[in-house]
Amino acid sequence: MTDNSDNAPPEAAGYPVTLRLAGRSVLVAGGGRIAARRVERLLKTGARVVVIAPDVLPALSEAGGAGALVWHCREVREADVAGMQLVFAATDDSSVNDQLARAARRQGIWVQRADAAEDSDFLVPALVERGPLQIAISSAAAAPSLTRRVRAHIETLTPRAYGELASLARRFRDDVRARIPRQKRAAFWDEIFEGPIAEQVFAGRYDDAVRALDQRLHQTDEAHAARGEVYLVGSGPGDPDLLTFRALRLMQRADVVLYDSLLSPDILALVSPEAERIHVGKRAERHTLPQERINTLMVELAQQGRRVLRLKGGDPFVFGRGGEEITQLAEAGIDFQIVPGITAANGCAAYAGIPLTHRDHAQSVIFVTGHLQAGELKLGWAELARPGQTVVFFMGRRNLALICDRLREYGLADDWPAAMIIDGTTARQTIIAGTLADLPERVAADPAKGPALLIVGEVVRLHETLGWFRPHS
Protein backbone atom coordinates (compact mmCIF):
# COMPACT_ATOMS: atom_id res chain seq x y z
CA MET A 1 0.00 0.00 0.00
CA THR A 2 1.23 3.43 -0.93
CA ASP A 3 0.58 6.17 1.60
CA ASN A 4 -0.79 9.15 -0.33
CA SER A 5 -2.58 10.72 2.64
CA ASP A 6 -0.34 13.77 2.59
CA ASN A 7 -1.43 14.53 -0.98
CA ALA A 8 -5.15 14.18 -0.37
CA PRO A 9 -7.28 17.29 0.00
CA PRO A 10 -8.26 17.94 3.63
CA GLU A 11 -11.97 17.41 2.94
CA ALA A 12 -11.67 14.57 0.41
CA ALA A 13 -14.66 12.23 0.51
CA GLY A 14 -14.14 8.66 1.63
CA TYR A 15 -15.04 5.69 -0.55
CA PRO A 16 -17.65 3.49 1.15
CA VAL A 17 -17.10 -0.26 0.91
CA THR A 18 -18.16 -3.42 2.71
CA LEU A 19 -15.23 -5.68 3.56
CA ARG A 20 -15.48 -9.46 3.56
CA LEU A 21 -13.42 -10.48 6.58
CA ALA A 22 -14.52 -14.07 7.17
CA GLY A 23 -11.48 -16.10 8.23
CA ARG A 24 -9.14 -13.11 8.09
CA SER A 25 -7.08 -11.91 11.05
CA VAL A 26 -7.85 -8.52 12.56
CA LEU A 27 -5.99 -6.93 15.47
CA VAL A 28 -7.85 -4.91 18.11
CA ALA A 29 -5.46 -3.20 20.51
CA GLY A 30 -7.25 -2.15 23.70
CA GLY A 31 -9.91 -3.54 25.98
CA GLY A 32 -12.22 -0.60 26.63
CA ARG A 33 -15.63 0.46 25.40
CA ILE A 34 -14.57 1.34 21.85
CA ALA A 35 -12.57 -1.87 21.49
CA ALA A 36 -15.60 -3.87 22.69
CA ARG A 37 -17.80 -2.28 20.01
CA ARG A 38 -15.25 -3.09 17.31
CA VAL A 39 -14.92 -6.70 18.45
CA GLU A 40 -18.68 -7.23 18.56
CA ARG A 41 -19.06 -6.00 15.00
CA LEU A 42 -16.00 -7.89 13.69
CA LEU A 43 -17.14 -11.21 15.11
CA LYS A 44 -20.39 -10.89 13.14
CA THR A 45 -18.32 -10.80 9.95
CA GLY A 46 -16.67 -14.13 10.73
CA ALA A 47 -13.25 -12.57 11.23
CA ARG A 48 -10.52 -14.04 13.41
CA VAL A 49 -10.19 -11.30 16.01
CA VAL A 50 -7.05 -10.93 18.09
CA VAL A 51 -7.44 -8.69 21.14
CA ILE A 52 -4.33 -7.55 22.98
CA ALA A 53 -4.79 -5.66 26.25
CA PRO A 54 -3.86 -6.15 29.91
CA ASP A 55 -7.53 -5.83 30.89
CA VAL A 56 -10.79 -6.00 28.98
CA LEU A 57 -14.40 -5.14 29.75
CA PRO A 58 -16.64 -8.10 30.71
CA ALA A 59 -18.75 -7.54 27.59
CA LEU A 60 -15.65 -7.97 25.44
CA SER A 61 -14.42 -11.12 27.13
CA GLU A 62 -17.89 -12.67 26.76
CA ALA A 63 -18.34 -11.64 23.13
CA GLY A 64 -19.32 -14.29 20.65
CA GLY A 65 -20.29 -14.54 17.02
CA ALA A 66 -19.52 -16.27 13.77
CA GLY A 67 -15.83 -15.44 14.05
CA ALA A 68 -13.13 -16.46 16.50
CA LEU A 69 -11.80 -14.41 19.40
CA VAL A 70 -8.31 -14.68 20.90
CA TRP A 71 -7.30 -12.49 23.85
CA HIS A 72 -3.69 -11.93 24.88
CA CYS A 73 -3.49 -10.43 28.35
CA ARG A 74 -0.54 -8.10 27.91
CA GLU A 75 0.59 -4.81 26.45
CA VAL A 76 0.48 -4.60 22.66
CA ARG A 77 3.74 -4.52 20.66
CA GLU A 78 4.58 -3.29 17.17
CA ALA A 79 5.35 -6.84 16.08
CA ASP A 80 1.71 -7.82 16.75
CA VAL A 81 0.55 -6.21 13.53
CA ALA A 82 2.29 -8.85 11.39
CA GLY A 83 -0.12 -10.96 9.35
CA MET A 84 -3.16 -8.83 10.09
CA GLN A 85 -5.70 -7.70 7.52
CA LEU A 86 -6.72 -4.65 9.55
CA VAL A 87 -5.56 -3.00 12.75
CA PHE A 88 -7.78 -1.14 15.20
CA ALA A 89 -5.66 0.97 17.56
CA ALA A 90 -8.03 1.56 20.47
CA THR A 91 -5.78 1.85 23.51
CA ASP A 92 -6.02 4.79 25.91
CA ASP A 93 -2.40 5.73 25.15
CA SER A 94 -2.04 7.97 22.10
CA SER A 95 1.68 7.21 21.73
CA VAL A 96 0.96 3.46 21.57
CA ASN A 97 -1.74 4.01 18.95
CA ASP A 98 0.72 6.13 16.97
CA GLN A 99 3.41 3.43 17.07
CA LEU A 100 0.93 0.76 15.94
CA ALA A 101 -0.28 2.95 13.08
CA ARG A 102 3.25 3.52 11.79
CA ALA A 103 4.16 -0.16 12.16
CA ALA A 104 1.01 -1.24 10.29
CA ARG A 105 1.60 1.15 7.41
CA ARG A 106 5.18 -0.05 6.96
CA GLN A 107 3.68 -3.48 6.22
CA GLY A 108 0.89 -2.19 4.01
CA ILE A 109 -1.82 -2.82 6.61
CA TRP A 110 -4.73 -0.43 7.01
CA VAL A 111 -5.24 1.01 10.49
CA GLN A 112 -8.03 2.83 12.28
CA ARG A 113 -7.21 4.92 15.32
CA ALA A 114 -9.90 5.47 17.92
CA ASP A 115 -8.20 8.65 19.11
CA ALA A 116 -7.34 10.28 15.76
CA ALA A 117 -9.71 9.94 12.82
CA GLU A 118 -7.46 12.19 10.75
CA ASP A 119 -4.64 9.65 11.11
CA SER A 120 -6.77 6.65 10.12
CA ASP A 121 -6.75 4.84 6.79
CA PHE A 122 -10.46 4.08 7.11
CA LEU A 123 -13.39 5.18 9.24
CA VAL A 124 -16.03 3.08 10.95
CA PRO A 125 -19.51 4.31 10.04
CA ALA A 126 -22.57 4.25 12.24
CA LEU A 127 -24.64 1.25 11.23
CA VAL A 128 -28.30 0.34 11.03
CA GLU A 129 -28.67 -3.42 10.61
CA ARG A 130 -31.68 -5.39 9.47
CA GLY A 131 -30.35 -8.89 8.85
CA PRO A 132 -28.36 -8.87 5.59
CA LEU A 133 -29.47 -5.27 5.00
CA GLN A 134 -26.98 -2.73 6.29
CA ILE A 135 -27.26 1.05 6.19
CA ALA A 136 -23.99 2.88 6.92
CA ILE A 137 -23.90 6.54 7.94
CA SER A 138 -20.76 8.61 8.06
CA SER A 139 -19.84 12.28 8.24
CA ALA A 140 -16.15 11.52 7.53
CA ALA A 141 -15.52 12.35 11.21
CA ALA A 142 -16.73 15.92 10.65
CA ALA A 143 -19.79 15.66 12.91
CA PRO A 144 -20.07 12.44 14.95
CA SER A 145 -23.04 13.77 16.95
CA LEU A 146 -24.93 14.48 13.73
CA THR A 147 -24.11 10.99 12.50
CA ARG A 148 -25.62 9.52 15.64
CA ARG A 149 -28.77 11.60 15.22
CA VAL A 150 -29.18 10.53 11.60
CA ARG A 151 -28.64 6.90 12.60
CA ALA A 152 -31.33 7.16 15.28
CA HIS A 153 -33.70 8.70 12.73
CA ILE A 154 -33.11 5.96 10.17
CA GLU A 155 -33.39 3.33 12.91
CA THR A 156 -36.92 4.44 13.69
CA LEU A 157 -37.96 4.55 10.02
CA THR A 158 -36.64 1.12 9.04
CA PRO A 159 -38.89 -1.80 10.04
CA ARG A 160 -37.19 -4.86 11.51
CA ALA A 161 -38.95 -6.96 8.91
CA TYR A 162 -36.71 -5.47 6.21
CA GLY A 163 -34.10 -7.97 7.37
CA GLU A 164 -36.45 -10.88 6.68
CA LEU A 165 -37.36 -9.33 3.33
CA ALA A 166 -33.67 -9.16 2.42
CA SER A 167 -33.24 -12.78 3.51
CA LEU A 168 -36.17 -13.76 1.30
CA ALA A 169 -34.57 -12.03 -1.68
CA ARG A 170 -31.26 -13.78 -1.01
CA ARG A 171 -33.05 -17.13 -0.78
CA PHE A 172 -34.58 -16.71 -4.26
CA ARG A 173 -31.73 -14.82 -5.90
CA ASP A 174 -30.45 -17.75 -7.98
CA ASP A 175 -33.95 -18.82 -9.02
CA VAL A 176 -34.78 -15.30 -10.15
CA ARG A 177 -31.59 -15.14 -12.20
CA ALA A 178 -32.48 -18.45 -13.84
CA ARG A 179 -36.10 -17.63 -14.66
CA ILE A 180 -36.34 -13.86 -15.11
CA PRO A 181 -34.51 -12.17 -18.02
CA ARG A 182 -31.93 -9.62 -16.93
CA GLN A 183 -33.86 -6.69 -18.41
CA LYS A 184 -36.97 -7.61 -16.39
CA ARG A 185 -35.38 -8.37 -13.02
CA ALA A 186 -35.51 -4.85 -11.62
CA ALA A 187 -39.24 -4.59 -12.38
CA PHE A 188 -39.79 -8.06 -10.92
CA TRP A 189 -38.10 -7.17 -7.61
CA ASP A 190 -39.97 -3.83 -7.51
CA GLU A 191 -43.19 -5.82 -7.74
CA ILE A 192 -42.11 -8.13 -4.91
CA PHE A 193 -40.86 -5.39 -2.58
CA GLU A 194 -43.90 -3.16 -3.13
CA GLY A 195 -46.64 -5.77 -3.27
CA PRO A 196 -48.52 -8.36 -1.23
CA ILE A 197 -45.50 -10.65 -0.84
CA ALA A 198 -43.56 -7.99 1.04
CA GLU A 199 -46.64 -7.26 3.13
CA GLN A 200 -46.83 -10.92 4.12
CA VAL A 201 -43.28 -10.60 5.45
CA PHE A 202 -44.15 -7.40 7.31
CA ALA A 203 -47.20 -9.11 8.78
CA GLY A 204 -45.07 -11.95 10.17
CA ARG A 205 -46.15 -14.55 7.58
CA TYR A 206 -42.71 -15.40 6.20
CA ASP A 207 -43.61 -18.94 5.15
CA ASP A 208 -46.62 -17.63 3.21
CA ALA A 209 -44.32 -15.13 1.49
CA VAL A 210 -41.94 -17.94 0.49
CA ARG A 211 -44.78 -19.93 -1.07
CA ALA A 212 -46.19 -16.85 -2.81
CA LEU A 213 -42.82 -15.86 -4.29
CA ASP A 214 -42.20 -19.39 -5.52
CA GLN A 215 -45.62 -19.40 -7.15
CA ARG A 216 -45.03 -15.99 -8.72
CA LEU A 217 -41.74 -17.22 -10.21
CA HIS A 218 -43.59 -19.97 -12.05
CA GLN A 219 -46.27 -17.65 -13.44
CA THR A 220 -46.17 -15.83 -16.72
CA ASP A 221 -46.82 -12.11 -16.74
CA GLU A 222 -50.14 -12.82 -18.45
CA ALA A 223 -51.21 -15.29 -15.83
CA HIS A 224 -50.22 -13.02 -12.99
CA ALA A 225 -52.89 -10.60 -11.96
CA ALA A 226 -52.41 -8.12 -9.23
CA ARG A 227 -54.25 -9.06 -6.07
CA GLY A 228 -55.79 -6.38 -3.99
CA GLU A 229 -55.55 -6.17 -0.22
CA VAL A 230 -56.98 -4.15 2.63
CA TYR A 231 -55.15 -2.40 5.44
CA LEU A 232 -57.34 -1.81 8.48
CA VAL A 233 -55.34 0.86 10.27
CA GLY A 234 -55.90 2.57 13.59
CA SER A 235 -54.63 6.16 13.43
CA GLY A 236 -54.69 6.86 17.15
CA PRO A 237 -56.50 9.66 18.99
CA GLY A 238 -55.41 12.58 16.80
CA ASP A 239 -51.76 13.53 17.26
CA PRO A 240 -49.87 12.36 14.12
CA ASP A 241 -46.81 11.66 16.28
CA LEU A 242 -48.73 8.77 17.85
CA LEU A 243 -49.05 6.85 14.58
CA THR A 244 -47.17 3.56 14.45
CA PHE A 245 -44.40 3.03 11.93
CA ARG A 246 -46.43 0.32 10.20
CA ALA A 247 -49.43 2.63 9.92
CA LEU A 248 -47.32 5.33 8.26
CA ARG A 249 -45.82 2.87 5.80
CA LEU A 250 -49.20 1.50 4.72
CA MET A 251 -50.68 5.00 4.49
CA GLN A 252 -48.01 5.78 1.92
CA ARG A 253 -48.61 2.59 -0.10
CA ALA A 254 -52.39 2.76 -0.45
CA ASP A 255 -54.14 3.25 -3.79
CA VAL A 256 -57.41 4.29 -2.19
CA VAL A 257 -58.34 5.34 1.35
CA LEU A 258 -61.70 5.07 3.11
CA TYR A 259 -61.76 7.47 6.05
CA ASP A 260 -64.14 8.57 8.80
CA SER A 261 -65.45 12.01 9.75
CA LEU A 262 -63.63 12.19 13.07
CA LEU A 263 -60.22 11.55 11.53
CA SER A 264 -57.69 14.29 12.21
CA PRO A 265 -56.87 16.37 9.10
CA ASP A 266 -53.21 16.28 10.14
CA ILE A 267 -53.26 12.50 9.92
CA LEU A 268 -55.14 12.41 6.64
CA ALA A 269 -52.45 14.68 5.19
CA LEU A 270 -49.92 11.88 5.67
CA VAL A 271 -51.73 9.57 3.25
CA SER A 272 -50.09 9.20 -0.18
CA PRO A 273 -51.13 12.20 -2.31
CA GLU A 274 -51.73 9.81 -5.22
CA ALA A 275 -54.32 7.82 -3.31
CA GLU A 276 -58.01 8.24 -4.10
CA ARG A 277 -59.89 9.42 -1.02
CA ILE A 278 -63.42 8.28 -0.20
CA HIS A 279 -65.20 9.81 2.78
CA VAL A 280 -67.30 7.19 4.55
CA GLY A 281 -67.65 9.19 7.76
CA LYS A 282 -70.08 8.36 10.46
CA ARG A 283 -71.38 10.75 13.07
CA ALA A 284 -74.31 10.32 15.35
CA GLU A 285 -77.42 9.89 13.16
CA ARG A 286 -75.50 11.21 10.10
CA HIS A 287 -73.89 8.40 8.13
CA THR A 288 -72.30 9.18 4.79
CA LEU A 289 -72.41 5.46 4.01
CA PRO A 290 -74.11 2.71 6.02
CA GLN A 291 -71.73 0.20 7.59
CA GLU A 292 -72.88 -2.60 5.28
CA ARG A 293 -71.98 -0.52 2.22
CA ILE A 294 -68.53 0.27 3.65
CA ASN A 295 -67.92 -3.46 4.11
CA THR A 296 -68.89 -4.32 0.53
CA LEU A 297 -67.01 -1.33 -0.91
CA MET A 298 -63.73 -2.57 0.60
CA VAL A 299 -64.31 -5.97 -0.98
CA GLU A 300 -65.13 -4.45 -4.39
CA LEU A 301 -62.07 -2.20 -4.42
CA ALA A 302 -59.73 -5.01 -3.39
CA GLN A 303 -61.19 -7.30 -6.06
CA GLN A 304 -60.16 -4.64 -8.58
CA GLY A 305 -56.54 -5.25 -7.53
CA ARG A 306 -56.27 -2.08 -5.46
CA ARG A 307 -54.52 -1.54 -2.13
CA VAL A 308 -57.26 -0.29 0.15
CA LEU A 309 -56.54 1.67 3.32
CA ARG A 310 -59.40 1.65 5.81
CA LEU A 311 -58.26 4.43 8.10
CA LYS A 312 -59.94 4.73 11.48
CA GLY A 313 -59.43 6.90 14.51
CA GLY A 314 -58.15 5.26 17.69
CA ASP A 315 -57.93 1.49 17.49
CA PRO A 316 -60.12 -0.37 14.97
CA PHE A 317 -60.93 -3.11 17.48
CA VAL A 318 -61.98 -0.77 20.31
CA PHE A 319 -65.45 0.53 19.44
CA GLY A 320 -64.30 0.89 15.87
CA ARG A 321 -66.38 -1.90 14.25
CA GLY A 322 -63.20 -3.37 12.84
CA GLY A 323 -64.36 -6.89 13.59
CA GLU A 324 -67.44 -6.41 11.41
CA GLU A 325 -65.39 -5.07 8.52
CA ILE A 326 -62.77 -7.80 8.40
CA THR A 327 -65.40 -10.54 8.70
CA GLN A 328 -66.68 -9.70 5.23
CA LEU A 329 -63.11 -9.47 3.89
CA ALA A 330 -62.31 -12.93 5.24
CA GLU A 331 -65.49 -14.38 3.76
CA ALA A 332 -64.57 -12.92 0.35
CA GLY A 333 -61.00 -14.28 0.52
CA ILE A 334 -59.41 -10.81 0.52
CA ASP A 335 -55.95 -10.45 2.04
CA PHE A 336 -55.92 -7.97 4.90
CA GLN A 337 -53.77 -6.59 7.67
CA ILE A 338 -54.84 -5.10 10.97
CA VAL A 339 -52.71 -2.34 12.43
CA PRO A 340 -53.64 -1.39 15.99
CA GLY A 341 -53.61 2.22 17.07
CA ILE A 342 -53.41 3.98 20.40
CA THR A 343 -56.97 4.11 21.68
CA ALA A 344 -58.69 7.38 22.42
CA ALA A 345 -58.84 6.25 26.05
CA ASN A 346 -55.09 5.69 26.36
CA GLY A 347 -54.04 8.70 24.31
CA CYS A 348 -56.44 11.29 25.69
CA ALA A 349 -55.95 10.18 29.28
CA ALA A 350 -52.16 10.36 28.95
CA TYR A 351 -52.24 13.83 27.36
CA ALA A 352 -54.63 15.01 30.08
CA GLY A 353 -52.43 13.72 32.89
CA ILE A 354 -55.12 11.27 34.06
CA PRO A 355 -53.72 7.80 34.74
CA LEU A 356 -56.36 5.19 33.94
CA THR A 357 -55.15 3.06 36.83
CA HIS A 358 -53.42 4.12 40.02
CA ARG A 359 -52.49 2.12 43.07
CA ASP A 360 -54.21 4.59 45.42
CA HIS A 361 -57.28 5.43 43.32
CA ALA A 362 -58.18 2.84 40.68
CA GLN A 363 -57.27 -0.82 40.50
CA SER A 364 -59.14 -1.47 37.26
CA VAL A 365 -60.43 0.35 34.20
CA ILE A 366 -63.56 -0.26 32.14
CA PHE A 367 -64.17 0.90 28.57
CA VAL A 368 -67.82 1.31 27.57
CA THR A 369 -69.76 3.05 24.84
CA GLY A 370 -72.03 5.94 25.63
CA HIS A 371 -73.87 5.52 22.34
CA LEU A 372 -77.58 4.78 22.50
CA GLN A 373 -78.76 1.41 21.24
CA ALA A 374 -82.45 1.21 20.37
CA GLY A 375 -82.94 4.50 22.21
CA GLU A 376 -81.41 3.24 25.44
CA LEU A 377 -78.10 3.03 27.23
CA LYS A 378 -78.06 -0.68 27.98
CA LEU A 379 -75.18 -0.80 30.47
CA GLY A 380 -74.50 -2.60 33.75
CA TRP A 381 -74.85 0.52 35.86
CA ALA A 382 -74.44 -1.29 39.17
CA GLU A 383 -71.02 -2.54 38.01
CA LEU A 384 -69.98 0.86 36.65
CA ALA A 385 -70.98 2.81 39.75
CA ARG A 386 -68.30 1.40 42.00
CA PRO A 387 -65.33 3.09 43.69
CA GLY A 388 -61.77 1.86 43.09
CA GLN A 389 -62.05 1.86 39.30
CA THR A 390 -61.98 4.17 36.28
CA VAL A 391 -64.76 4.15 33.70
CA VAL A 392 -64.12 5.54 30.23
CA PHE A 393 -67.12 6.33 28.04
CA PHE A 394 -66.51 6.48 24.29
CA MET A 395 -69.01 8.62 22.37
CA GLY A 396 -70.48 9.81 25.67
CA ARG A 397 -70.97 13.52 25.02
CA ARG A 398 -74.45 13.31 23.51
CA ASN A 399 -75.77 11.41 26.52
CA LEU A 400 -73.56 12.97 29.18
CA ALA A 401 -76.42 14.10 31.42
CA LEU A 402 -78.05 10.68 31.31
CA ILE A 403 -74.74 8.94 32.12
CA CYS A 404 -74.05 11.18 35.10
CA ASP A 405 -77.61 10.75 36.42
CA ARG A 406 -77.45 6.96 36.14
CA LEU A 407 -74.09 6.73 37.95
CA ARG A 408 -75.46 8.89 40.77
CA GLU A 409 -78.67 6.88 40.88
CA TYR A 410 -76.64 3.69 41.35
CA GLY A 411 -74.56 4.97 44.21
CA LEU A 412 -71.76 7.33 43.18
CA ALA A 413 -71.65 10.63 45.06
CA ASP A 414 -72.64 13.93 43.50
CA ASP A 415 -69.06 15.16 43.89
CA TRP A 416 -67.55 12.08 42.22
CA PRO A 417 -64.83 13.31 39.80
CA ALA A 418 -65.46 13.28 36.07
CA ALA A 419 -63.85 14.94 33.07
CA MET A 420 -64.69 15.44 29.41
CA ILE A 421 -61.69 15.55 27.07
CA ILE A 422 -62.42 17.20 23.71
CA ASP A 423 -60.06 16.93 20.72
CA GLY A 424 -57.61 15.07 22.93
CA THR A 425 -53.88 14.91 21.98
CA THR A 426 -54.29 17.72 19.42
CA ALA A 427 -53.53 21.44 19.50
CA ARG A 428 -57.26 21.98 20.16
CA GLN A 429 -57.36 19.78 23.28
CA THR A 430 -59.82 20.98 25.89
CA ILE A 431 -60.28 19.38 29.31
CA ILE A 432 -63.45 20.13 31.25
CA ALA A 433 -63.11 18.70 34.74
CA GLY A 434 -65.87 18.62 37.32
CA THR A 435 -68.18 16.24 39.12
CA LEU A 436 -71.10 14.05 38.16
CA ALA A 437 -73.42 16.79 39.43
CA ASP A 438 -72.00 19.74 37.52
CA LEU A 439 -70.08 18.33 34.51
CA PRO A 440 -73.06 18.32 32.08
CA GLU A 441 -73.63 22.02 32.69
CA ARG A 442 -69.91 22.80 32.34
CA VAL A 443 -69.67 20.94 29.04
CA ALA A 444 -72.82 22.57 27.66
CA ALA A 445 -71.36 26.00 28.38
CA ASP A 446 -68.01 25.28 26.66
CA PRO A 447 -67.73 26.15 22.94
CA ALA A 448 -65.42 23.20 22.09
CA LYS A 449 -67.29 20.78 19.80
CA GLY A 450 -64.73 18.16 18.69
CA PRO A 451 -64.58 14.41 19.40
CA ALA A 452 -65.03 13.83 23.11
CA LEU A 453 -64.18 11.21 25.71
CA LEU A 454 -65.65 10.96 29.21
CA ILE A 455 -63.53 9.69 32.12
CA VAL A 456 -65.14 8.99 35.50
CA GLY A 457 -63.18 8.15 38.63
CA GLU A 458 -60.96 9.44 41.39
CA VAL A 459 -57.99 9.53 39.00
CA VAL A 460 -59.51 12.65 37.44
CA ARG A 461 -58.37 14.60 40.50
CA LEU A 462 -54.75 13.98 39.44
CA HIS A 463 -55.19 16.04 36.29
CA GLU A 464 -54.23 19.33 37.91
CA THR A 465 -50.98 17.86 39.24
CA LEU A 466 -50.00 15.54 36.38
CA GLY A 467 -51.26 17.46 33.37
CA TRP A 468 -48.31 18.24 31.08
CA PHE A 469 -49.76 18.92 27.64
CA ARG A 470 -50.89 22.54 27.41
CA PRO A 471 -51.44 23.41 23.74
CA HIS A 472 -52.97 26.81 24.49
CA SER A 473 -50.36 28.07 26.95
Task: Residue 218: name the closest of 165, 175, 277 by CA.
Answer: 175
Average pLDDT of span 291-302: 93
Q: What pLDDT is stored for residue 400 in this prediction?
A: 95
* pLDDT at position 47 over 70: yes
Q: Is the pLDDT of residue 3 over 60?
A: no
Mean pLDDT within 176-197: 86
196 vs 9, which has greater pLDDT? 196
pLDDT of 188-209, one tens digit each?
A: 888 888 788 998 898 889 999 9
Instruction: Name the class of domain 229-342.
Output: alpha beta
pLDDT band per the 50, 70, 90 thresholds, residue 184: confident
pLDDT per position as a tens digit, 394-435: 988 999 999 999 999 999 999 999 999 999 999 999 999 999
Instruction: Kindly indicate the confidence band of residue 288, based on its pLDDT and cuts at 50, 70 and 90.
Output: low
Angle at 357 between CA 353 and CA 363, to 5 degrees: 155
Among 44, 119, 282, 405, the one annotated catalytic: 282
Indicate the pLDDT class of residue 142, thresholds 50, 70 and 90.
confident
Which residue out of 260, 315, 335, 423 is catalytically annotated?
260
Instruction: Check residue 454 and give its pLDDT.
Output: 97
Q: Measured between alpha carbons, how far is 408 from 398 in angstroms, rounded to an integer?
A: 18
pLDDT-derived band at 225 (thresholds 50, 70, 90) equals low
Query: In terms of DSSP H, where are the helices of 358-461?
Result: 381-384, 400-409, 439-445
- Catalytic annotation present for 282: yes
Q: Is the pLDDT of residue 294 over 60?
A: yes
Write down the pLDDT at residue 1: 44
271 touches 257 (CB < 8 A): yes
Please report which confidence band the pLDDT of residue 11 belongs to, taking 50, 70 and 90 as the band edges.
low
Fold of 18-124: Rossmann fold (3.40.50)
CA dist., res. 279 & res. 261, Å (int)? 7
> How sure is the predictor about 253, in pLDDT bands with cuts at 50, 70 and 90?
confident
Residues 64-110 have pLDDT tens digits of 666 689 999 999 999 999 999 999 999 999 999 999 999 999 999 99
Which residues, 6+ apart, have CB-to-CB distance to 352 below 8 Å?
419, 421, 424, 429, 431, 455, 463, 467, 469
Q: How many CB atoms lie within 10 A of CB 7?
A: 7
- Burial grade of 419 (CB within 10 A; 0-12, 13-18, 19 or more): buried
β-pairing, 68-72 vs 126-130, is: unpaired
pLDDT tops 70 at residue 14: yes
pLDDT for 268: 93
Neighbour count for residue 338 (Cβ, 10 Å): 18
Determine the 3-state secondary structure of 282 from DSSP: strand
The secondary structure of residue 65, as a DSSP letter, is: S
Amino acid in position 184:
K
How far, in Å, are 65, 286, 370, 371, 372 from residue 376 at the CA level? 64, 18, 10, 8, 5
- How many whole angstroms separate alpha carbon 348 and alpha carbon 320? 16
What is the residue extent of each domain of the chain? Answer: 18-124, 161-217, 229-342, 345-466
Mean pLDDT computed over 45-50: 93
Task: Give Rg (Cα) of the chain.
Answer: 30
Mean pLDDT of all residues belonging to the chain: 89
- Select from 3.90.650.10, 3.30.930.10, 1.25.10.10, 3.30.950.10 the CATH code of 345-466: 3.30.950.10
Asked if 239 is an active-site residue, the reply is no
